[in-house]
Structures are given as C-alpha cells and as structure tokens.
C-alpha cells in the first residue's frame, strides 16, 4: 500500500493511465485518485528573443537574450513557464536547461498540486539556477490555475484592478538615441532610466530634452564611492527623479546606509535583495526592494519577498528581465500587491512568441484567462 491507501499495482495502473492522458492530450482521467497520482511530462528549451534596440546597462550590452522555456503536461493540461538567466549571477539559459534535465526523473514523479513541496525539493536538489527554478515554478502556477479554471491573481486573492502603472526602461545609450527612445516611450507616464556610468549627466539631460515625465533611475551598482553616490542622488532629486535603484554594489550595505542618511530620495535594493532571507539586513540601508521572479526563483519566493518586505515597512517593486510575455505576465499577476512595477521586458523584444498582460496608458491590464492567461502570439 502506498500513502494514499491503494495497492502499488492499482497505483501503477492509475499513473499509467494519467501518463497516457498527458501524451494523448485528452483521455479523460478524473476523480481524486487521478488528481493525487498525476504524473508529469516536462520539456525545457531555450528560446532566443531578439531585442528591438541594443540593450546596455552597467553589466552588459547585447542584441538578443536567451530564456529558458518550460512546458509541463499533466492530467490533460499544459502549464507554461519561463525564466531569464541573469548574467550578474553567472547564469545562462543552456546551464538552466541542463539543471532542469538533471532532475528529470524527480520532476516526472511530482504532484503539481503540491507546488510548494515541489519547489522546496527542487531547491534542495539544484544549487543556484534561479531562472530555471522560476521557469519550473511559473509552469506549475499556470498548470494549477488552468486546472482550477481561475486566473493566477484570483488564486492569490488579488484584485486585478489594483495593478500599478509600469515604467518603461531606457538603457544606456548615446544622447541622440536616448532622446529617440524617450520619444518612442510616449505612452508610458513614468520612465526608468539606466545610469551608473560616467555619462549620467548627459543621459539625464538627453531624457529631459524630450520629456518632463517623472523618472526612476537604476544605477545597477554603478557608483563605487559613497560620496559620489550622495552627490549623484542629490543631483537626481533636482531632475524630477522619484527614486534610485541599487546605487552602490550589493555587498556595500554599510556604505549604502551611510548614503541613505544623506539623501531624500528613496533607495530601492535590486541586486542586494536576492531572496526573502536577504531582506532583514537591508532595513535602514534601503527604503524598498525590487522583486524579480528570475532572480529569486519564481512566484512563490517572490511572494515571500513581498510579504517580508511589507512586514518590515519597506516599499515593494516588481521588476523583470528581458523576457517573453510568459514571465512578464506571471509577474504582473502579483503586481496588485506592490507599490511600483517595472514590467516591460516583453516590450523590449521584437519576436514575442506569446501574448499576455497588456499595458494601457501605462497601467498593467490582466486578462481573465485561467492560470497566466497567456496565449500564443
């Protein structure tokens, strides 16, 4: 007898038939036994996303990005997930795909209804590879939402009308291209500007030559000297900037605390806030945190980060990497919980294979489809 009180032989029969329903995509298997003994088929692949503009931050410059796509087929339903590897943490899509393949026997035997337990076990089995974990977690969330026939935001008890506006990001470029990108982003009421190199003044001047909109600034750990950081942040305050993200390197928490005492603008942690456990030591050094599924390993860890930050009185923000509408839509489902959103990664690519969350006058608009509610483009 197994833990559900049925004989091993019957159990094999049940999982066998559910497995067949995955492959045949329609053989009806219903009832509690089928639900509890669901077997899964998982597929991980790498998708190349072409960028509309060459994308430059303090960390890298590129014309395309590869993301890990995951497809979970079980009990007649397919869940899709995506994770975008972050160069900062030495991740690549190929390594993420290999990490998923390395635990393939385990994944085939999981019960996707137990998504919390599944991801806890994945975390035990795989070191690092947070984009791969995010892809698995998002596929589980999509699958469960589809099985329950409710959108992910409803599973989480959230009101889709509470979504924030999203900023549109402008990468580091020469002044003329920066100005052009700002003009192209006319539909967005707030912009996020990447700085952190020695061209910051010219970048902001180029932005301000094209718009008076509020700006949010991301230095991506670019300022290494605390006095320089204070000087830059206080100057940015005179330029209509609302907050500054990750002014100094993540490990310089003490220096960032020193900086924060000398500026008025809120400081948001991104690279310093990798997961929920990292947040308590950031109190007093930062006013808030930027949560990304790809950085922390998926929806479940992102929720933990948001709740920990809120309980410590910190602001919360959802960000993203360059990715398709799968990953960005998954994040958007959590966005009714946060103060700020920077969920534009799908808008930066020219070949999005999917269609999901939309943006109207800057506001994130979620559909009412089950799970992520994402469809092929």
| Whole-Å CA distances, 208 to 168, 347, 361 | 15, 22, 20
Cα–Cα distance between 343 and 320 in angstroms, integer? 6
Give the number of residues in contact with Mg ion, rule: CB under 5 A: 3
- The pair of structure tokens assigned to 204 is 């902001």
Task: Name the closest residue to Mg ion (Cβ).
Answer: 270
Question: Which CB, 36 or 339, lies closer to Mg ion?
Answer: 339
Question: Which CB, 222 or 356, lies closer to Mg ion?
Answer: 222
Taking each helix axis from N to C end, the angle separating 299-311 and 130-148, rounded to the nearest 10 degrees, works out to 100
If one asks whether residue 91 binds Mg ion (CB under 5 A), the answer comes out as no
Residues 17-45: b if buried by 16+ CB within 10 A, e if exposed: ebbebbeeeeeebeeebbebbbbbebbbe
Question: Which CB, 319 or 373, lies closer to Mg ion?
Answer: 319
Which one among 218, 287, 344, 352 touches Mg ion, defined by CB under 5 A? Answer: 218
Segment 257-286, which members bind Mg ion (CB under 5 A)?
Answer: 270
Question: Which CB, 218 or 352, lies closer to Mg ion?
Answer: 218
Question: Which CB, 243 or 354, lies closer to Mg ion?
Answer: 243
Tell me how far, at minimum, the Cβ of 144 lies from Mg ion, in Å: 29
Comparing CA positions, the residue from 208, 204, 206, 198 lying closest to residue 217 is 204
For residue 377, list its beta bridge partners.
none
Tell me how far, at minimum, the Cβ of 245 lies from Mg ion, in Å: 5
DSSP secondary structure code for residue 126 in this structure = -
Question: Which CB, 158 or 241, lies closer to Mg ion?
Answer: 241
Residues 112-134: b if buried by 16+ CB within 10 A, e if exposed: bbebeebbeebeeebeebbbbbb
If one asks whether residue 342 binds Mg ion (CB under 5 A), the answer comes out as no
CB under 5 A: which stretch of 40-48, 228-236, 243-251, 360-368 binds Mg ion? 243-251
Length of the chain: 377
CB under 5 A: which stretch of 53-61, 148-156, 180-188, 217-225 binds Mg ion? 217-225
Tell me how far, at minimum, the Cβ of 8 lies from Mg ion, in Å: 51
CB under 5 A: which stretch of 9-17, 237-245, 260-268, 325-333 binds Mg ion? 237-245
Q: Which residues bind Mg ion (CB under 5 A)?
A: 218, 245, 270
């Amino acid at each position: 007898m197994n833990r559900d009180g049925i004989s091993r032989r019957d159990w094999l029969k049940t999982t066998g038939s559910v497995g067949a329903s995955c492959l045949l995509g329609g053989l009806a298997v219903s009832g509690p036994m089928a639900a509890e003994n669901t077997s899964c088929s998982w597929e991980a692949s790498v998708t190349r996303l072409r960028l509309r503009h060459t994308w430059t931050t303090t960390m890298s410059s590129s014309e395309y990005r590869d993301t890990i796509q995951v497809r979970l087929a079980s009990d007649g339903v397919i869940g899709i997930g995506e994770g975008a590897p972050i160069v900062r943490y030495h991740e690549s899509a190929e390594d993420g795909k290999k990490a998923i393949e390395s635990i393939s026997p385990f994944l085939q035997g999981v019960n996707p209804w137990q998504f919390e337990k599944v991801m806890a076990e994945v975390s035990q089995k795989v070191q690092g590879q947070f984009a791969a974990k995010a892809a698995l977690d998002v596929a589980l969330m999509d699958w469960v939402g589809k099985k329950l026939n409710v959108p992910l935001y409803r599973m989480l008890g959230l009101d889709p009308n509470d979504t924030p506006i999203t900023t549109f990001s402008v990468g580091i470029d020469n002044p003329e291209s920066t100005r052009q990108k700002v003009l192209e982003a006319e539909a967005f009421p707030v912009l996020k500007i990447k700085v952190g190199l020695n061209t910051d003044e010219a970048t902001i001047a180029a932005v301000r030559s094209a718009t008076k909109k509020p700006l949010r600034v991301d230095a991506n750990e670019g300022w290494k000297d605390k006095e320089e950081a204070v000087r830059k942040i206080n100057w940015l305050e005179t330029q209509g900037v609302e907050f500054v993200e990750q002014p100094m390197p993540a490990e310089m928490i003490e220096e960032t605390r020193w900086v924060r005492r000398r500026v008025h603008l809120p400081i948001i942690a991104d690279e310093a806030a990798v997961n929920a456990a990292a947040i308590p030591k950031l109190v007093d050094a930062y006013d808030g945190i930027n949560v990304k599924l790809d950085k922390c390993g998926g929806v479940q860890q992102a929720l933990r980060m948001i709740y920990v930050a809120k309980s410590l009185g910190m602001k919360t923000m959802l960000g993203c990497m360059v990715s398709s509408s799968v990953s960005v839509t998954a994040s958007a489902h959590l966005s009714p919980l946060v103060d700020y959103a920077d969920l534009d990664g799908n808008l930066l690519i020219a070949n999005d294979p999917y269609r999901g969350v939309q943006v109207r006058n800057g506001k994130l608009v979620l559909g009412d489809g089950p799970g992520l509610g994402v469809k092929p483009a």
